[in-house]
Amino acid sequence: MSHFRAIHTIELKQNVEREQFEDFMLHQFLPTIRALPNCLSVELLKGYKGDLVGVAQSEHDYVWMTLWESVEANNSVWSKEGAHHTPDEILEINAKLHHYAANYSLVGGFTVEAMV
């Protein structure tokens, strides 16, 4: 059975301090997500906005990715009666994310076919 990744993009509100957002993500949001059943890891990526020639810039401020035991494991946490459902245990932390994020969205889910 393949592992499963879910990838989300985040656009910060204009008045948000990046350091405060990163602290919130690292010490509150990501650990709460990681504690969900069968979540193996969570990563926060910062969009590259530099000017090195040949390096692609990101159109997104941040990305957070989760790695799950399987697509079924992800589905058991995020679905209820065949529809998307936010688990009760993250409703409060999700509300706090809205304090920082102007927008966040799910890019999609991907099965992991190879890791080297």
- CATH number at 62 reads 3.30.70.100
d(CA 7, CA 47): 13
Q: 15 lies in a domain? A: yes
Q: 76 lies in a domain? A: yes
d(CA 63, CA 16): 16
Q: 105 lies in a domain? A: yes
Q: 99 lies in a domain? A: yes
Residue ranges for the chain with pLDDT beneath 50: none
d(CA 70, CA 74): 6
Q: 116 lies in a domain? A: no
The domain total for the chain is 1
Q: 8 lies in a domain? A: yes
Q: 95 lies in a domain? A: yes
Q: What letter represents residue 39's amino acid?
A: C
pLDDT value, residue 50: 87
39-46 and 79-80 as β-strands: parallel, antiparallel, unpaired? unpaired
Residue numbers of the domain that contains 35: 4-111
